[in-house]
Amino acid sequence: MSGGTAYDEAVLAVWPGPPPTDVPLRGAWPDGPGTSSTLAEALRDADDVIVDGLVGAAHPGVLGAAQRSGTRLVLLVHLPLADETGLAADHARDLARAEGGAVALADVVVATSRTTADDLRRRYGRPDVLVAPPGVDVDLTTDPAGRDDPRTDSPPLVLCLASLTPRKNHVTLLRALALLDDPWTAVFAGPGADADRARLDDAVAAAGFGGRVALPGVVVGEDLEALWRRTDVLVLPSLAETYGMVVTEAIAHGVPVVVAAGTGAVEALTDGEGPDPGVAVDARSPRALADGVRRVLCEPGYREAARGRRTSLRRWSDTARVLAGALARVPAPGDATTDHPPTASPHPLTAPRAEHEAERTSPASRTGGSTPRPTDSSTPPSTRRHPSRAPSESSS
């Protein structure tokens, strides 16, 4: 469960026309043992491919070799590799150097937010990055119209729906909650390695919040919908964020938000019509974070703004059309330009699903699939069917 995976699955579920083949790959991505050969094998005899940045950006040599064999490449970047927290300085430099090479050679580069696109332009000098921001399926979210507001039957519920990694900044949120005078409860929902879960369990116990902060792990489906119905404010205090799909999901449920200033989550907060349904604060400051939570809880206008914006949110089908158009821009062999107008339907291409930064050490990570060329007599890679509803974001 991760934001990158949710994004990839969501666009494939609503692809305009026959969806690309989806090929999951196992490995310690982005650059663990065996990942280079695993990616090379996945790209063998491929025609047109979208490669998720987590599995492709660290391997420019593999991508270049595939191109020389005739593969046309779209690189989809959620989060620049070097921006993950916890990396040693030399490892971050190596990842940035590799990613710069991958970004330079890809036929088309797509970022999942304007924030990331601008970052890639500054960082690697690629001026033509396309943007395909996340969407939401409002029809599959709980209509908040019937909710009592304000809630008077219980303390307000603060939700942080994110992977339990240090980049998501849960510990500072705990310190902020300690500064609130009024009663509250909190849920920190999302996936996490055992070490990260233990770290947060210890922080909750040290703060004396054992009965007020729940860590239920991954929450999906009807359980997540029930949690949204109870939520009074979503807080995403990430130290780095490229967009923050969970912010859009909160707004779709009529829930106001508090996000970290200076991150891509501000883009998600401000991306829409009408007044902003929340505030951006300095998430490194417990006091500023506490003030933001208090302000959103005390001013009903933020919830009203979320309810007003939910119907105008971007749909996943809009995002899928951008990616399909990116595939249509990939040059045919011998063409000198990548500026091809979108066609009515994309090539019978391939598309990725990649585990994102929260599962960098997971034994299973997913990447772009491949469609064999018509002359290839080999058996096509297996395709995993996609649910009609994409999973909710557990990390970004």
User: What is residue 371's predicted lDDT score, i.e. its pLDDT?
Assistant: 34
φ, ψ dihedrals at 350, nearest 5° = -120, 155
Provide the pLDDT confidence category of residue 126 given band limits of 50, 70 and 90: very high
DSSP 8-state code for residue 302? H
Tokens of residue 18, six digits: 């026959």
User: What is residue 311's predicted lDDT score, i.e. its pLDDT?
Assistant: 83
In this predicted structure, which of 66-80, 268-282, 351-365 has the lowest mean pLDDT? 351-365
389 pLDDT more than 70: no
pLDDT per residue as tens digits for the range 137-187? 877 666 665 455 544 558 999 999 999 999 899 999 999 999 999 999 999
User: What is residue 84's predicted lDDT score, i.e. its pLDDT?
Assistant: 81
Q: What is the CATH number of domain 3-135+315-359?
A: 3.40.50
Helix (H) or strand (E) holding 21: strand 21-22
360 pLDDT more than 70: no
Tokens 């970052």 sit on residue:
119
220 pLDDT more than 60: yes
193 pLDDT more than 50: yes
Instruction: Using DSSP bridges, classify how beta strands 72-77 and 108-111 pair: parallel, antiparallel or unpaired.
Output: parallel
Tokens of residue 280, six digits: 């951006």
Tokens of residue 319, six digits: 């995002």
Looking at the chain, the domain(s) classified CATH 3.40.50.2000 span 138-312
User: Could you give the 3-state DSSP secondary structure of residue 281?
Assistant: strand
Burial of 281 (0-12, 13-18, 19+ CB in 10 A): buried
User: What is residue 127's predicted lDDT score, i.e. its pLDDT?
Assistant: 93
Q: Using CA atoms in the order 359, 360, 361, 365, what is the torsion angle rounded to 10 degrees?
A: 70
373 pLDDT more than 50: no
User: What is residue 350's predicted lDDT score, i.e. its pLDDT?
Assistant: 30
Strands (E), 264-366: 278-281, 350-351
DSSP 8-state code for residue 145? G
Count of beta carbons in the 10 Å neighbourhood of residue 121: 16
Tokens 């200033």 sit on residue:
261
pLDDT per residue as tens digits for the range 246-290? 999 999 999 999 999 999 999 999 988 889 999 999 999 999 999
Q: What is the CATH number of domain 138-312?
A: 3.40.50.2000
Q: Using CA atoms in the order 246, 251, 114, 47, what is the torsion angle rounded to 10 degrees?
A: 60
Which amino acid is present at 347? H
pLDDT per residue as tens digits for the range 332-357? 655 544 343 332 222 222 333 333 33
Instruction: Round the average pLDDT of the chain to a whole number and report it.
Output: 82
Tokens 């939520």 sit on residue:
231
**Contact present, 264 and 242 (Cβ < 8 Å):** yes
3-state helix, strand, coil in the chain (%, to 5): 40, 15, 45
Which of 256, 244, 221 minimizes the C-alpha distance to 147?
A: 256
Provide the pLDDT confidence category of residue 361 given band limits of 50, 70 and 90: very low
Tokens of residue 237, six digits: 């205090």
Count of beta carbons in the 10 Å neighbourhood of residue 347: 17
Which amino acid is present at 261? A
DSSP 8-state code for residue 112? S
Q: Which residue pairs from 171-175 have beta carbons closer than 8 angstroms and sit at least 24 positions apart in sequence?
A: 171/200, 171/203, 172/237, 172/283, 172/284, 172/285, 172/286, 172/289, 173/235, 173/237, 173/289, 174/203, 174/204, 174/207, 174/209, 174/213, 175/207, 175/286, 175/289
Pick the most confident of 118-127, 149-158, 383-392.
118-127
Average pLDDT over residues 98-116: 95
Contacts of 296 (CB under 8 A, 6+ apart): 233, 256, 257, 258, 278, 279, 302
DSSP 8-state code for residue 26? B
pLDDT per residue as tens digits for the range 16-25? 988 889 988 9
Count of beta carbons in the 10 Å neighbourhood of residue 52: 28
